[in-house]
Amino acid sequence: MLDVEWITLTNVDTVADDLRLRGHAQGASLFARGEGMWFGKNEVYFACTNGGIKKSGHVFKYVPSHKEGTQDEMNFPGKLILFAEPNNTEILKYCDNLTVAPWGDVILVGDSSDACIRGITPGRKDL
């Protein structure tokens, strides 16, 4: 789990397609092929299709600070959590889209020729 500190970027609508590179030069993290995203219950899940040690994808969870967007956010930062990294590609590979069920299951769709739908129940993250 990592504390999150936001940075300010300028010229975000540039046609140069260099926002991620300029952000990284200022200390921002790079995410590999960001895809599906879900927000609810004060948390954000997002998939990085080519991320992870095996480059077979991973899913992050961001929990905003209760002081998000205020001066106090630096004292109470949001948290970034590596939620799932499916190193067993027989279970899931190249996670693309995702959603979260009302009861808390995270539902993931793989983006490959053998695409599949998988779910992670609350408390179960060992793919």
Is 16 part of a structural domain of the chain? no
CATH of the domain at 41: 2.40.10
The answer to whether position 90 is within a domain reads: yes
Percentages helix, strand, coil for the chain (3-state, rounded to 5) are 10, 35, 60
Tokens of 77: 């930062």
Residue 127 lies in a domain: no
The whole-number pLDDT of residue 93 equals 78
Rounded distance between C-alpha atoms, residue 20 and residue 15, angstroms: 13
**10 belongs to a structural domain:** no
Question: Which pLDDT score is estimated for 100?
Answer: 92
- Is position 47 within any domain? yes
Domain for residue 3, yes or no? no
E strand or H helix that includes residue 43: strand 43-48
Domain range for 81: 32-120
Domain count for the chain, please give it.
1
Q: What is the pLDDT along the chain (127 residues), one digit of tens a residue?
A: 999 998 889 999 989 889 889 999 999 888 878 888 999 889 999 998 888 888 888 889 999 999 998 989 999 999 999 988 877 777 777 888 899 999 888 998 887 766 678 888 877 654 4
Is residue 96 one of the residues assigned to a domain? yes
Name the pTM for this structure: 0.83
